[in-house]
Amino acid sequence: MNQQQKTNNKKQTTNNKQLITTSLVWSVPLIITAIFFWILGDIIWHGIGQISWEFLTTATKDAGRSGGIAPIIVSTVLILAVCLTVSIPLGVGTAILLAEFTREENWFGRLVRRSLDVLAGVPSIVFGLFGNALFVRILGFKYSILSGGLTLACMVLPILIRSAEEGLRAVPNDYRFGAACLGICRTSTLWHLLLPAAVPGLLVGLVLGVGRAIAETAALLFTSGYVDHLPTSLLDSGRSLSIHIFDLSMNISGGDPNAYGSALVLIMLLLIINGMAAWITHRWLENRILYR
């Protein structure tokens, strides 16, 4: 597609309107990249000094000012794992129902979509309080990685579902008719054809969902708790990286260096997860030889 654009441009270089729009379009990402490197640079500049093998493998000392953040990384990964194992089936399932089995003006579909839009706007602090009331107290999971993960699952659902639905809607109807006319049941059509074809949309939802979950502070404060021991089970309370960064930067004098270090670790963790998600879907797509 891009080569074809270039030939167009060459023909119309004299057209200054073209020049303005191109320079406008190029300036936006430059601004965004500049801001990004300003923020990331700030984190790297202050945090790179903290990163060392002990920082990643030992427990916290002196309320986090020194020592490592191993238990916190483990808690974060476990909270994310719980969040994804709950939100992916729930989210993709709902997305399939909305995209494949409900007509545009079906009341049930519209109700679920609207409730998801509202859920997308619920503030993280309210999720924290709700999670605290439902998971910590009523369901009796107490302050635990499980409560934190479940609360985050509720938070990421809207993003996951909307992106998955967009992904499914983008799959052309030819495949649905082709499969139907060959007497292939909806389940197999979904599993073998539609879901693989919708994977790009699912991937965006997953990446945004993980981004939102890993960046979450207020919600986890009241659900997964403040304990920075190494968790021994899902029912143990575990402090997540973002809470650790929050506590160090807002509550502990002299906590800034380790706060920056933890922020850097969090970004690296995010890079690994996004990379893995992209790699898994690419490999899975590859041997299904999908049309992209």
In the complex, minimum distance from the CB of residue 69 to other proteins, in angstroms, rounded to a whole number:
14
Task: Identify whether the C-beta of residue 201 lies closer than 8 Å to the C-beta of residue 171.
Answer: no
In the complex, minimum distance from the CB of residue 111 to other proteins, in angstroms, rounded to a whole number:
6
Check binding of 234 to other proteins (CB under 8 A).
yes
Radius of gyration of the chain (CA): 23
In the complex, minimum distance from the CB of residue 146 to other proteins, in angstroms, rounded to a whole number:
9
> Closest CB to other proteins among 56 and 277?
277
Check binding of 14 to other proteins (CB under 8 A).
no
Task: Give 198-260 as a DSSP string.
Answer: HHHHHHHHHHHHHHHHHT--HHHHTTT-S--SPPSSTTS----HHHHHHHHHHTSTT-HHHHH
Check binding of 16 to other proteins (CB under 8 A).
no
**Which amino acid, residue 261?**
G
Length of the chain in terms of residues written: 292
- Report 26-85 residues binding other proteins (CB under 8 A): 26, 28-29, 31-33, 35-36, 38-40, 42-43, 62-64, 78, 81-82, 85
Buried b (16+ CB within 10 A) or exposed e, 268-288: ebbeebeeebeeebeeebeee
> Closest CB to other proteins among 57 and 251?
251
> Closest CB to other proteins among 49 and 172?
172
User: Is residue 166 within a helix (H) or strand (E), and if so which, with residue range?
Assistant: helix 145-169
- Report 116-145 residues binding other proteins (CB under 8 A): 116-127, 129-130, 133-134, 143
- Report 145-204 residues binding other proteins (CB under 8 A): 154, 157-159, 161-163, 166-167, 169-170, 172-188, 190, 192-193, 196-197, 200-201, 204
In the complex, minimum distance from the CB of residue 53 to other proteins, in angstroms, rounded to a whole number:
22
Task: Identify whether the C-beta of residue 238 lies closer than 8 Å to the C-beta of residue 79.
Answer: yes
Task: Give 44-64 as a DSSP string.
Answer: HHHHGGG--HHHHHS-EEGGG
| Distance in angstroms (rounded) separating the CA atoms of residues 180 and 186 | 8
In the complex, minimum distance from the CB of residue 129 to other proteins, in angstroms, rounded to a whole number:
7
In the complex, minimum distance from the CB of residue 65 to other proteins, in angstroms, rounded to a whole number:
9
In the complex, minimum distance from the CB of residue 182 to other proteins, in angstroms, rounded to a whole number:
4
Total number of residues that touch other proteins (CB under 8 A):
159
- Report 250-289 residues binding other proteins (CB under 8 A): 250-255, 259, 263, 266-267, 270-271, 274, 280, 283-284, 287-289
| Joined tokens for residue 281 | 């879907």
Return the bridge partners of 139, or none: none
